[in-house]
C-alpha cells in the first residue's frame, strides 16, 4: 500500500479498505495509550491519525455517493474517545464511544458503491499503487515448430503472443498469424513425432494456474457480495428499527456512564463529611469542671488538666505554645507560692474572652494536689488565691481521686 494513497483527497475507497484503515487507526491509538499513557501527549498521535480517518471517510463517502459532511459522523466518536482517554478516564464512557465508532464505521462500510471503478488494494485514484498489486495480463507463450529436412531435430521460432481473454481491443492481424501458426504446427506434428510440446507446456500450465487462482478470488468475492447485499437490504427494509435499536443501546450506555460518574463525586463528599464527623466526635471529649474561689476554674478532659479564667479581651489567639516556645513569656510557667513550677503545653485566648491553659497529663495529679494545699498560684501575670480550693476540689469525684 502506498502511503500517499492514505492522504489522497480525490480518490475512492471501497468498503474493505475503509474498514481496515479505520480499525488500524483505533488500534494505533490504543498502542499509543499503552506507550505514553492517558495523558496530554496522546493528542500528538491523535493529530496524525485524525486526518487519515477523515480522508478515508471522505473517499468512502464519495465512492458511495454520500455527502462529504458525513465525515463528521466518523470523526466525532474519535474525538470523544480521545477526550475520554485524556481527561475523563471512565471505562464505561470509553466503551460507549467505541461502540458508537463501530456503528458509524459499519454504517459507511455497508453503503454500496455507485461507480464501477477499477480498485487496486481497495483504492481507485490518481496515486499509482505498486505494480505487483495491479492485475497483470498474462501472456501465453506458444512455440512454433519449424520443419527441417533430413529428419533432424526440430527448431523453434520466436514466440507468438496470445492476448488475454479479458483484453478490450481485438487485434485481427494477430488472429491471422495465429491461424497460420496453428496450421503450421498441425503439419509439423504430423510429420515429426518429437517432443516439442513439452517446452510449451510449462508456460501454458503456469498461465492456467494463474487464471484459476484469479477465478477463485473472483468467485470468493462474488460469494461475499451476496451476504453484504443481504445485510444492506435488511437495513434498508428495517431502517427505522435499526436506528432505534442502535440509538437505544448507545443512549443506555451513555446514561449508565454518566450515572457512574455522578455518584462517585457525591460519594467522596459523603466520605469527607463522615470523616469530619468522626474527627468532631473524637474531639468532643467529656469535660468535668469545678469552680475555684478566686474567679477561675479547673477542668478535666480525660487526664488533661485545664485552667480557665475570664478577663482578657481581643481576637482569639495563641498566647503560648511549648512546642514552639513562642508567645507571652509570662504564660510559660504556672508558679505556686512555694516555688513549684509547671509548664503549660498551650495557652489560648478564646472568643468568649476566656483564657485556657492546658497541661500535660503527666503533671495533672501534682498540680491538683498543689492547688488543694498551696496558698496562691500565678500564671500570665494573674495571681489567684487558693483559699478554700481543697473544699471545691473535694466536691467533684474526678478531682477527689487525685487528693
Q: Where are the domains of the chain?
A: 3-130, 287-400
Asked whether 250 and 77 are in contact (CB, 8 A), the reply is no
Number of Cβ atoms within 10 Å of the Cβ of 282: 8
pLDDT on residue 250: 80
Give alpha helix (H) positions in 10-67.
Answer: 15-36, 43-64
pLDDT in tens, 15-27: 999 999 999 999 9
Rounded to an integer, what distance in angstroms lies between the CA atom of residue 106 and that of residue 11?
20
pLDDT on residue 257: 76
The list of the chain residues with pLDDT below 70 reads 1, 130-229, 231-232, 234-237, 239, 263-284
pLDDT in tens, 71-98: 999 999 999 999 999 998 888 889 999 9
Helix (H) or strand (E) run with residue 334 in it: strand 334-336
Asked whether 347 and 304 are in contact (CB, 8 A), the reply is no
pLDDT on residue 118: 87
- Three-state secondary structure call for residue 291: strand
pLDDT on residue 90: 86
Give alpha helix (H) positions in 318-388.
Answer: 364-373
pLDDT on residue 89: 81
* pTM summary value: 0.47
pLDDT on residue 345: 94
Asked whether 162 and 203 are in contact (CB, 8 A), the reply is no
Q: Maximum Cα–Cα distance for the chain, whole Å? A: 159
Amino acid at each position: 500500500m502506498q502511503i500517499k494513497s492514505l492522504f489522497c483527497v480525490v480518490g475512492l475507497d471501497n468498503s474493505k479498505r475503509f474498514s481496515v484503515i479505520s480499525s488500524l487507526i483505533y488500534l494505533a491509538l490504543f498502542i499509543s495509550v499503552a506507550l505514553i499513557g492517558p495523558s496530554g501527549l496522546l493528542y500528538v498521535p491523535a493529530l496524525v491519525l485524525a486526518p487519515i480517518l477523515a480522508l478515508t471517510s471522505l473517499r468512502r463517502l464519495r465512492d458511495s455517493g454520500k455527502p462529504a459532511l458525513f465525515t463528521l459522523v466518523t470523526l466525532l466518536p474519535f474525538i470523544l474517545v480521545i477526550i475520554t482517554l485524556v481527561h475523563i478516564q471512565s471505562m464505561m464512557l470509553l466503551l460507549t464511544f467505541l461502540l458508537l465508532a463501530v456503528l458509524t464505521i459499519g454504517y459507511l462500510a455497508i453503503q454500496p458503491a455507485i461507480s464501477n471503478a477499477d480498485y487496486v488494494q481497495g483504492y481507485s485514484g490518481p496515486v499509482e499503487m505498486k505494480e505487483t498489486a495491479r492485475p497483470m495480463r498474462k501472456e501465453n507463450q506458444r512455440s512454433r515448430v519449424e520443419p527441417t529436412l533430413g529428419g533432424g531435430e526440430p527448431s523453434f521460432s520466436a514466440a507468438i503472443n496470445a492476448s488475454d481473454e479479458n483484453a478490450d481491443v481485438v487485434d485481427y492481424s494477430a488472429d491471422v498469424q495465429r491461424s497460420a501458426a496453428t496450421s503450421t504446427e498441425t503439419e509439423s506434428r504430423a510429420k515429426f513425432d518429437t517432443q516439442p510440446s513439452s517446452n510449451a507446456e510449462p508456460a501454458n500450465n503456469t498461465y492456467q494456474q494463474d487464471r484459476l487462482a484469479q477465478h477463485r478470488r473472483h468467485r470468493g468475492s462474488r460469494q461475499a457480495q451476496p451476504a453484504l447485499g443481504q445485510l444492506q437490504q435488511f437495513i434498508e427494509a428495517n431502517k427505522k428499527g435499526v436506528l432505534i435499536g442502535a440509538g437505544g443501546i448507545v443512549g443506555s450506555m451513555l446514561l449508565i456512564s454518566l450515572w457512574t460518574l455522578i455518584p462517585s463525586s457525591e460519594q467522596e463528599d459523603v466520605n469527607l463529611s463522615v470523616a469530619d464527623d468522626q474527627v468532631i466526635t473524637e474531639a468532643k471529649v467529656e469535660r468535668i469542671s469545678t469552680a475555684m474561689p478566686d474567679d477561675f476554674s479547673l477542668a478535666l478532659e480525660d487526664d488533661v488538666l485545664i485552667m480557665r479564667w475570664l478577663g482578657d479581651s481581643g481576637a482569639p489567639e495563641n498566647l503560648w505554645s511549648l512546642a514552639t516556645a513562642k508567645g507571652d513569656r509570662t504564660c510559660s510557667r504556672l508558679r505556686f507560692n512555694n516555688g513549684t513550677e509547671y509548664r503549660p503545653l498551650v495557652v489560648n485566648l478564646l472568643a468568649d474572652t476566656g483564657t485556657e491553659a492546658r497541661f500535660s497529663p503527666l503533671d495533672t495529679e501534682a498540680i491538683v494536689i498543689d492547688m488543694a494545699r498551696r496558698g496562691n498560684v500565678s500564671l500570665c501575670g494573674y495571681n489567684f488565691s487558693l483559699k478554700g480550693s481543697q473544699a471545691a476540689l473535694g466536691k467533684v469525684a474526678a478531682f477527689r481521686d487525685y487528693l
